[in-house]
Amino acid sequence: MKFNKIFIPEAIAKAKGIEEIDISRLSNVIALVGKNGSGKSRILDLLEENLFKGIKVDSIFNGRIGGLSDDLEEMRTENPELCKYYELAAEHEELQRKHAASHKNERRAIAKQLSSLDRRLKSLNLGSPDNHEILSSARAIFGEVSPTLKQKYFRRIRTEEILSLRSAVEEAENDLGTNFEELIKSVEADFAYNELTSIKNNSLKYFGELPNMLAYDKDDAYGQSRKYKSMPSFQQFASLKRYINLFLGKNLTWEKRQVQRTKSIDGFQALIQGIWKIEGRSFEYSEFSEGEKILFAYALLFFLLDQNPNLNLKESVILIDEPELHLHPDSEIDVINGIRSAIGENGQLIFATHSLNILSTLNYEEIFMVKNGKVKHPTKDTPGESLEQLMSIGERVEKLTDFLDSVSTWTYVNFVTQCFEHPEVIQSAGRKDPQIEAFKKAIADNSQGDNCLLLDFGAGKGRVYEQLKDDEEFLSKITYQALEPDVEHHALLSSLGADKIYDHYSKLEEKTFDFVLLCNVLHEIEIGEWEQCLKNVVASLKHTGFLVVIETKTLSKGEKIGKTGFVLLDSLELKKLFGLSSEPALINIGPNREKIICALIRKSRIKEISKKTVFETLKLLEINTLKKIKALRDTDQITPNYELGRKLAFLSQQHINARLGQDEVL
């Protein structure tokens, strides 16, 4: 059965902090989607407690409940006038209630509606004694069925039950016995059968015995296929095979083996045994992944539900709270699809979720958004609003949409878009930022005493100093000054502890600093300004001072670019730019050396920087990036690799930008 309409009045719902529930046009699957704390679980509790309460005859006849068993459906279809009578009678009863509770000036309008309903009821001509007998008979029939509807057509599945079932399977994995038939008999004998209790009490011994029963029954049938397929063991096997396939997508089979053959005066006697096989191999539960073990638990549970003669599984309403817990994204979808197939067209699945993977598989009319205890009926905006609720930030919805549309397009658009944004300045990163660690090591290994004067060139919002401030020993050895063109950041830099702040490199004083740090800055300076800017920087160093250049070797997120585009220099290009006789000293930064370069350049080694050296640097970058592109293209790549694609895209942009930069310098 399934509910076409669910109504829980405010008087009942508000006890759990939920608004009145009034949803209709319901399909076989109802997904309550919303973030944690939205009220999804409380709504499921309400449904469990109230869904089958107060179901009257009119609820069955007026279409509130569908997917009825044959006897109920026959009663409905064979008595269309009776269906209409109950529909109008229910409306009449509700109007009478409103009439009694309404104000005097409202009663006249309600009285007119009641009068109209009276005429419509009389027009059905159900007043004859024979029809009254049918009416009494129907009430008697449904009066007998109604109290048992919940037991016969309802099951709540809780996550802890599934986990408990998985634990029971694992405990019983090496202790499978011969108690399958007793388990099935206990199901038949106990109307209020609890699958999980039976599983624990019997230690899943039935699962080891069933293939033995299959082997015995097949021999007993002497090749009579119809007889064999009518036996309980085969029926149970067919059911178990179905649910294993529904939830795990695997084929369960069994194989007969002869384990003992003896000769006696009566002839040969053989002892046979049945063993499980899955996908043609011996069934080994230990080989299942964690997700598959959960799916296997679902398969076993639904198999046992199917064995309960007092529960119409294929016509039942199933409630589950967050079926995606403890599952891999692919397995989340498998669970929903498995349950959807298990209950078929005449059952109904109602579940709460905040899984985007599950959301992506649902139909438009199946998504009911829950926000602040209110259930919202599906509209054209529901999918987007649900995504926003689940992801918390609206901006991520657009990124996810782009990603789902095309991974390659998303990667390209995301990178290019960020290239035109302002640089991402991390105000508070971890203390073990490899760039900062490299810088501290350079200072510690090369300072010539305490109270070194440090200039943070392109300080931004003080990322460097923010991560140094907790290292009191290190800070005690330096005086921190900053250069930041954006004057809006100056107040913040001062509050952090900057001793002095410059707004342009032309204002730097000569022979002042022991260290000048360019951390992720060089590629942001317009290439046309490199010559003059770097001359001023070098001039501001003491004769014994050092230039510390820290750059990432790739831009994973993109950066702000000038009109010629960003360029990132490696050690060979830095050697050319500063006219060094050999490559600059590189600070060892461990596992990050493939991603970050930290070069330490003594002022005394630097030769004159000119347009020529800048041009030659860009020319060398053009040549070196082309070499790297060719090397990557020669890489053996059997399967698609997005990381390789990103590297090629980055190097291609570097190659082009280096060529454009040369035109800018000339």
Nearest to 439 by CA among 493, 368, 520: 520
Residue 266: exposed, middle, or buried by beta-carbon count in 10 A (0-12, 13-18, 19+)? Answer: exposed
In terms of domains, do 222 and 300 share one? Answer: yes
2 DSSP β-pair partners: 66
Residue ending a domain, among 152, 180, 202, is 152
Nearest to 303 by CA among 179, 221, 210, 217: 210
In terms of domains, do 162 and 121 share one? Answer: no
Within a domain: 413: no
Q: What is the pLDDT of residues 356-413, one digit of tens each?
A: 888 878 887 888 988 888 888 877 666 666 666 665 544 545 555 554 454 444 444 4
E strand map for 186-301: 252-264, 267-278, 281-282
Helix axes 232-248, 180-189, angle to 10 degrees: 90
In terms of domains, do 76 and 209 share one? Answer: no
551 DSSP β-pair partners: 597
If the chain, 666 residues long, is cut into consecutive pieces of 10 residues, what is the mean pLDDT of each piece?
85 90 88 86 90 65 60 62 64 78 80 81 60 53 56 84 73 46 41 46 56 77 78 83 90 75 51 77 80 86 80 86 83 88 88 85 86 82 65 50 48 44 38 61 68 89 76 79 91 85 94 90 86 95 90 62 76 93 78 73 91 94 92 68 76 90 86
Nearest to 358 by CA among 384, 322, 407: 322
Query: Tokens in use for 142?
Result: 């449904």
Write down the pLDDT at residue 42. 92
The CATH number of whichever domain residue 536 belongs to comes to 3.40.50.150
Within a domain: 179: yes
Write down the pLDDT at residue 483. 95
Query: Tokens in use for 299?
Result: 């398969």
Could you tell me which residues come within 8 angstroms of residue 421 by beta carbon, excluding any fewer than 6 positions away? 558, 560
In terms of domains, do 580 and 527 share one? Answer: yes
Within a 10 A sphere around the Cβ of 607, how many other Cβ atoms? Answer: 11
In terms of domains, do 601 and 476 share one? Answer: yes
CB 271 within 8 A of CB 136: no
Within a domain: 77: yes
In terms of domains, do 139 and 163 share one? Answer: no
CB 251 within 8 A of CB 238: no
In terms of domains, do 65 and 213 share one? Answer: no
Nearest to 300 by CA among 363, 242, 223: 242
Helix (H) or strand (E) holding 343: helix 329-343
Within a domain: 324: no
The sign one gets for the Cα dihedral 416, 419, 421, 425 is positive
The sign one gets for the Cα dihedral 609, 615, 616, 622 is positive
What letter would DSSP give residue 428? S
Within a domain: 598: yes
In terms of domains, do 306 and 173 share one? Answer: yes
pTM: 0.49
Within a domain: 16: no
In terms of domains, do 169 and 246 share one? Answer: yes
CB 606 within 8 A of CB 549: no
Write down the pLDDT at residue 509. 94
What is the distance between the alpha carbons of residues 310 and 188, in angstroms, rounded to a whole number?
A: 8
Write down the pLDDT at residue 446. 64
Write down the pLDDT at residue 591. 57
Opening angle at CA 246, ends 343 and 279, nearest 5: 160
Residue ending a domain, among 152, 184, 200, is 152
What is the distance between the alpha carbons of residues 31 and 175, in angstroms, rounded to a whole number?
A: 39
214 DSSP β-pair partners: none
Helix (H) or strand (E) holding 517: strand 513-519
What is the distance between the alpha carbons of residues 35 and 25, in angstroms, rounded to a whole number?
A: 24
Indicate the SS3 state at residue 30. strand
What domain count does the chain have? 3
Within a 10 A sphere around the Cβ of 61, how many other Cβ atoms? Answer: 24
Rg (CA), the chain: 38
Within a domain: 22: no
In terms of domains, do 125 and 191 share one? Answer: no
In terms of domains, do 211 and 98 share one? Answer: no
Residue ending a domain, among 574, 592, 609, is 609
> What is the extent of the structural domain holding 270?
158-311
Within a domain: 137: yes
**CA terminus-to-terminus distance, the chain:** 80
Q: What is the pLDDT of residues 217-251, one digit of tens each?
A: 887 777 787 887 888 788 888 888 899 899 989 99
Place of tokens 């090397």: 631
In terms of domains, do 289 and 244 share one? Answer: yes
Write down the pLDDT at residue 68. 59
